[in-house]
Structure 1
Amino acid sequence: MTDTRSRRRWPAVVALAAVCYVAVRAVGGLPAGSTPRPAPSVHTSAPAPPTGPAHPSATATAGPYDPADHAAQVRRRAGQAGVGAQLLMAILYNESYKPHEPDFERAWQKYKPDAAFGIANMHRATFDATKKDRDFANRSWNELPDDRDLAIEAAAWYLHDLAAVLPAHWTAPYSRDDLLALGYNTGQGNMLAFARGATPGSQAQSYLDKLHENWAKAGRAVRP
């Protein structure tokens, strides 16, 4: 889920994150190829879990990231959660604006402890609320950078939960997918306000515009 306040300034801080990434390895004394331990979240007093995913995924890769590479996982997880695969894929395209390499994400979190994790940019509180009573209830938010399938699964079920609270009818000129995308970006309360007719701010509107731009591409990506 995008932190809309920081999205606009993301290009200006990528270089700083890269410096943090190098510093974590060089100054922190980590050998090349190792993964920094994630810093404890500002929202919890629990110690950081051991480095590395409990369920390693072959989809955790370095280098250029294209959401379409994970079309099979998107179709499967969307089907399990009862949400549209095209919507889920379009959101992944929306959230692909920043690097999604595991070590880079963890290095960035040391600079910005409340940063989102994984290819779906999910915050800790959202992940923890979404995983309750689900098949991934025993998984940790700290695993998201390493396990892209887990990130897709959590995003799919979060969209499911948002859909569950949408009213049967709304007065606003938005489609169901529009409202779910706005909910993914800004939270359930704002989504319901938009459904009642509230006007999205410039950043939320930009997210919706980007979704529309990505819609056809997302549809092609998830086509069997």
Structure 2
Amino acid sequence: MSEEQKGSRWGRWLVIGVLVAVGWGLVRGGGHDTAASSTPSPSAPGGTAPSGAQSGAPAADAPSAAPSKPSGRYDPADYAAPVRRYAAEAGIDPQLLMAVLYNESYKPHDPDLERAWQRGKPDASFGIANMHRAAFDDTKAGRPFASRQWEELPDDRDLAIRAAAWHLHDLAGQVPARPSAPLNKDELLALGYNAGAGNMLAFARGVKIGPQAQSYLNRLHDNWAKSGEAVK
């Protein structure tokens, strides 16, 4: 996302915060294109796209951990324990999962604000991993959290992390063994999380990434070292 777009998005969040404060009466509690093309159009960094792959799920279905209560302050490093736990469960790199959370922490992750925003923008993403409904529904099938709902993501940060971990797992199953692009697997997975599997595969073939995807990749690089420290 460009600085101009980022500023505009922050402006919209500030406006919605003011509207909330003056009387919206917030409720308490409770798709991206995945076809590869020669001109990928990465999504804004608020979300994920369905990956289409459903493999490697644990055999036994089990309920998710008790909801982690969202607080006013949010630092992805505070969630290092569930990041390590669910990265191991999904068989992905915990540093990558933590870096994605850092990349997706650009907006306030308050449950009430997210729901207020979603009322005006029904296709908005939910939770600290900024996951869209279609991506969540595709990812949860056959997984230990299959009975959970997308609407629960703002209130249960552990669920958001778990879903993001399995979504990265599904994307990893689609990455070519020998990509043509000068990008490593973690970079491709992060771009897939942001822009969708179709764009990820196009980037793997060597299609040049656009400015929004490049911005996401730059932030991944900026967040990489501290993400590794957080999950040690």
TM-score (norm 1): 0.83
C-alpha displacement of 1:167 = 1.1
Name stretches of at least 5 consecutive residues in structure 2 with no aligned partner. Answer: 31-62
Q: Where do 1:47-86 residues align within 5 Å?
A: 57=66, 59-86=68-95
Output the amino acid matched with 1:63: G
Q: CA deviation at 1:22?
A: 3.0
Could you tell me which residue of structure 2 aligns to residue 35 of structure 1? 28
Matched residue count:
199
1:13 counterpart residue number: 12
Work out the percentage of aligned pairs sharing the same amino acid: 59
Distance 1:123 1:7 in 2: 19
Counterpart AA for 2:160: A
Aligned to 1:162: 171
Work out whether residues 83 and 156 of structure 1, in 8 Å CA contact, stay in contact via their aligned partners in 2.
yes
Match of 2:180, SS state, is: coil
Report the AA paired with residue 215 of structure 1.
W
Instruction: Tell me the residue number matched to 2:161.
Output: 152
Root-mean-square deviation (CA), in Å? 2.2
Residue pairs, 1:1-224, within 5 angstroms: 7=6, 9-22=8-21, 26-28=23-25, 35=28, 57=66, 59-223=68-232
Relative contact order: is structure 1 or structure 2 higher (C-alpha 8 Å, sep ≥ 6)? 2
- 5+ residue gaps, structure 1, are 38-53
> What letter matches 2:94 in structure 1?
A
Change (3 A) 1:56 1:6: farther
The list of structure 1 runs, each at least 4 consecutive aligned residues, that deviate by more than 4 angstroms after superposition, is 4-8, 54-58
TM-score, length of structure 2 as denominator length: 0.80
Q: Deviations over 1:166-186 (max 9, x none)?
A: 111111000000000000000
Question: How far apart, CA to CA, are the structure 2 residues paired with 1:36 and 1:59?
Answer: 13
Contact 2:29 2:111 in 1 (8 A): no
Amino acid at match of 1:151: A
